[in-house]
Amino acid sequence: MLQFIQIVDRISSWAGKAFAWCILLITFVIGYEVLVRYALNDPTSFAYDLSYMMYGTLFMMAGAYTLSRDGHVRADVLYRLWKPTTQAKVELTLYFLFFFPGILALIFAGFDYARASWTYLEVSSASPADVPIFQLKSVIPAAASLLFLQGIAQVLRCWICIRTGAWPPHTKDVEELEVTLLEDEEELLPGEGREARPKDAEL
C-alpha cells in the first residue's frame, strides 16, 4: 500500500509541478498587456482570455498535487484535537460520502463537456479574438481523474492510520516561510535557546 501511495504521490507531484509553469506564462502575458496598453496605447485582445485559461488550468491540475501534500483547507477546530485513528475514520467516511461521488460526477460531466466542445471546436463567446477553449474543457476530466487517483491513495493512508495509529508521512515539499519560522521557534522553546532572547521578558 505504501508503494502505491508513493507512486500516486509522484504522479500528482509531476502534474502539479508541470502545470505550475502556467504562472510564468500568466506573468508574461499580463506584463506584456500592461506594457502595450499603457506605454503604447495598443491593448491586446487575448490577454484576459489567456490569463483566465492559464489560471483555471493551474487551479484544476494542482488539485491532486495539493491533496497529496495534505494542503487543502480543513476546518480543524475539532479535527486537530482527535487521535489519529479518529481522524482517519472520519476522513475515510467523508471520502466515500462526499469526495468520490463528487469527483466521479466531475469526471463524467467533464468528459461530456469536453467531447461536445471538441466536436465543434468551441471558442470563447466573450472573447473579441475568438480564443479557442475546447482544449481548456479537456482539463476538467483530466484534473478530476488525477484527483480520483489521489483520493484512492488518501483512502489507503486512512486505512494504514487506522491499523497502525499513526499517519503515513506525506512527501516533504517547499514550506511557507511562516511555517518554517514557527517550527524554528518551537525548537527554541525548551532549554537555553529560549534564554537567548531576553526581549521576550519585556513583551
Short-list 61, 48, 51, CA closest to 25: 51
Helix-helix angle 22-38:47-61, to 10 degrees? 160
Burial class from Cβ neighbours inside 10 Å (0-12, 13-18, 19+) for residue 197 reads exposed
Short-list 36, 5, 171, 157, CA closest to 88: 157
Q: What stretches in the chain show pLDDT beneath 70?
A: 174-176, 189-203
Tens digits of per-residue pLDDT, 42-76?
A: 888 778 888 888 888 998 999 999 898 887 877 77
Cα–Cα distance measured from residue 46 to residue 49, given in angstroms and rounded to the nearest whole number: 5
- CA 39, 44, 48 angle in degrees (round to 5)? 115
pLDDT of residue 108: 94
Task: Enumerate the β-bridge partners of residue 128.
Answer: none
Task: Identify whether the C-beta of residue 69 lies closer than 8 Å to the C-beta of residue 171.
Answer: yes
* Domain residue ranges in the chain: 2-174
pLDDT of residue 194: 42
pLDDT of residue 196: 43
Residue 123: phi and psi, rounded to 5, are -120, 160
Short-list 203, 177, 202, 200, CA closest to 189: 200
Residue 182: phi and psi, rounded to 5, are -65, -40
Grid cell listed for 48: 484576459
Tens digits of per-residue pLDDT, 17-43?
A: 899 888 898 898 889 888 888 888 888
How many CB atoms are located within 10 Å of the residue 109 CB? Answer: 13
Grid cell listed for 129: 479574438
pLDDT of residue 190: 59
pLDDT of residue 104: 95
